[in-house]
């Protein structure tokens, strides 16, 4: 059943009673867990010399798509970071998902502002929804960031998959560990919502992973046109890995995503300040949405102090 889910072309391939996202997710996670339990992860090599990439050849250009652990601050292992540096050392041209260049390279690199595929109200709703429903999200996020930093030099706990062993697993299996359906099914599900709502409520999809993958594929396609590259490396969070490959092979059927990615790629090519403007605008609407999300909680607290103190 694992292979059937991975190779399925469409949600329509499954019986009608199993086509809901919840049903497919339950079935997929069951298959992933069974497959993992049958594997001897202790026998996997712990010291990969290089990070594997997914190659895509399109219009005379070789795209090498690398998927890396994202988190809040990147990987929690120094050996893993060294492996990434070794893997990317020979690449002539590299573009990174937003923040990954600074996490893994630290140099003045080209980054793709993938969250800017959301319109301004989508950027606001992203933080508004989190902080209105779950105001403790800030505390949890800060706790996760601190944990990642403190564990960076520690050994992996018993029973957990370390960073390097994680990348010896099949990319689709890794998607299952991250909570996503196989690539084709996840793409169909998310893009169905995106196109139906015409991005009016684009943040309805948690973090809009698939639309951002489509954006990064289109950005890369336009970036090589600006620079006349014949080979380029694309470094993205591992959950985007197979989706970016999918959209490089099958361009996204969304004029908004294609047009936005093209505009951003050409703008950043002309001036590095364009990226800073996009990032500032995104951050501004994110903060504004967050403030509006927290406002009801603050108002309630002030009212409590006023009437009961």
Quick: pLDDT tens for 70-100: 766 666 667 788 888 888 888 889 999 988 8
Q: Are 279 and 123 within 8 A, CB to CB?
A: no
Alpha-carbon span 5 to 24, nearest angstrom: 9
Q: Which helix (H) or strand (E) holds 108?
A: none
Alpha-carbon span 183 to 240, nearest angstrom: 9
Q: Is 155 left (phi over 0), alpha (psi -120 to 50) or beta?
A: beta
Neighbours of 96 (CB within 10 A): 23
Taking the domains of the chain in order of start, what are their residue ranges?
Answer: 2-308
Q: Which position has the higher pLDDT, 155 or 91?
A: 91
Alpha-carbon span 27 to 2, nearest angstrom: 9
Alpha-carbon span 141 to 129, nearest angstrom: 15
Q: Taking residues 39-48, what's their average pLDDT?
A: 59
**pTM greater than 0.75:** yes
pLDDT digits (tens, 9 = 90+) for 159-193: 456 677 788 888 999 888 877 889 999 999 888 87
Q: Are 152 and 83 within 8 A, CB to CB?
A: no
Q: Is 252 left (phi over 0), alpha (psi -120 to 50) or beta?
A: beta
- Read off the pLDDT band of 158 (50, 70, 90): very low
């Amino acid at each position: 059943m694992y292979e059937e889910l991975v190779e399925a072309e469409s949600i329509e391939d499954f019986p009608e009673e199993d086509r809901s996202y919840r049903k497919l997710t339950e079935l997929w996670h069951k298959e992933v867990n069974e497959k993992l339990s049958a594997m001897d992860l202790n026998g996997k090599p712990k010291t990969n010399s290089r990070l594997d990439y997914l190659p895509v050849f399109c219009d005379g250009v070789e795209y090498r798509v690398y998927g890396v652990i994202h988190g809040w601050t990147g990987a929690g292992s120094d050996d893993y970071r060294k492996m990434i540096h070794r893997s990317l050392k020979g690449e002539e041209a590299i573009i990174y998902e937003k923040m990954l260049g600074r996490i893994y390279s630290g140099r003045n690199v080209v980054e793709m502002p993938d969250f800017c595929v959301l319109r301004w109200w989508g950027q606001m709703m992203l933080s508004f929804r989190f902080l209105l429903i779950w105001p403790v999200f800030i505390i949890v996020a800060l706790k996760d960031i601190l944990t990642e930093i403190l564990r960076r030099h520690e050994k992996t706990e018993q029973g957990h998959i370390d960073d390097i062993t994680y990348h010896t697993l099949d990319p689709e299996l890794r998607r299952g560990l991250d909570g996503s359906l196989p690539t084709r099914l996840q793409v169909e599900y998310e893009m169905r919502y995106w196109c139906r709502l015409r991005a009016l409520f684009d943040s309805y999809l948690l973090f809009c992973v698939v639309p951002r993958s489509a954006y990064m594929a289109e950005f890369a396609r336009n970036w090589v046109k600006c620079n006349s590259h014949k080979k380029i490396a694309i470094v993205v969070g591992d959950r985007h890995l197979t989706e970016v490959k999918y959209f490089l092979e099958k361009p996204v059927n969304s004029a908004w995503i294609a047009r936005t990615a093209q505009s951003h790629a050409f703008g950043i090519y002309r001036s590095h300040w364009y990226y800073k403007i996009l990032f500032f605008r995104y951050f501004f609407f994110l903060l504004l949405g967050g403030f509006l999300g927290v406002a009801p909680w603050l108002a309630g607290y002030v009212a409590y102090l006023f009437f009961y103190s």
